[in-house]
Amino acid sequence: MTKLTLGSHPFLLGFDQLERLVERTAKTGNDGYPPYNIEQRGENAYRITLAVAGFAEDDLSITLEDRQLVVRGRQGEEPDSRVFLHRGIAARQFQRSFVLAEGVDVAGATIEHGLLHVDLNRAVPDSVVQTIKIKTGG
């Protein structure tokens, strides 16, 4: 018996990369830190919000490579003069990844009140219906 995968289904032409994207997303292994929200802010606009309390703008980086949005946080070294009796505020580095669909672009990022907002926009195609002209052979 042959296993039929999503990328090899005969009615889904050109979607072979979709299966690889799903596998890559599943392998990111995010442990839940930092917590985040994804919200729809319009028909073609989205916002990812990450709780990054304690991180300064210089401690964060946002990159987009091969349709994968990666947010990284790494705080600088703290002076040894601080002695904590209890340390409940996380100060660990993190990496959070999101795979973006084709046509979704990063519009910008802002940080306020310990929240990092990454705004995304989906490009709207000019025409949804396209007529294909048939040529005669010869």
Q: Which residue has the higher pLDDT, 87 or 93?
A: 93
User: Given the DSSP bridges, would you call strands 36-42 and 68-73 parallel, antiparallel or unpaired?
Assistant: unpaired
Give me the residue spans of the domains in the chain. Answer: 34-122
Contact (CB, 8 A) for 59 and 75: yes
Q: Which residue has the higher pLDDT, 50 or 133?
A: 50
Contact (CB, 8 A) for 100 and 122: no
d(CA 131, CA 52): 48
Mean pLDDT of 23-52: 85
Rounded to the nearest 10°, the torsion over CA 37, 124, 42, 58 is: 40
d(CA 36, CA 30): 11
Which range, of 27-31, 97-101, 121-125, averages the lowest pLDDT?
27-31
What are phi and psi for residue 47, nearest 5 degrees?
A: -140, 130
Q: Which residue has the higher pLDDT, 43 or 12?
A: 43
Query: Domain 34-122 carries which CATH code?
Result: 2.60.40.790
pLDDT band at 68 (very low <50, low <70, confident <90, very high): very high
CA atoms within 13 A on the CB side of 36: 20
- Unique residue bearing structure tokens 């929200």: 37
Q: Decide if pLDDT at 64 tops 80.
A: yes
Q: Which residue has the higher pLDDT, 84 or 38?
A: 38
Q: Decide if pLDDT at 138 tops 90.
A: no
Q: Decide if pLDDT at 108 tops 90.
A: yes
For residue 60, the cross-strand partners are 73
Mean pLDDT of the chain: 83
pLDDT tens string 123-136: 877 767 777 788 88
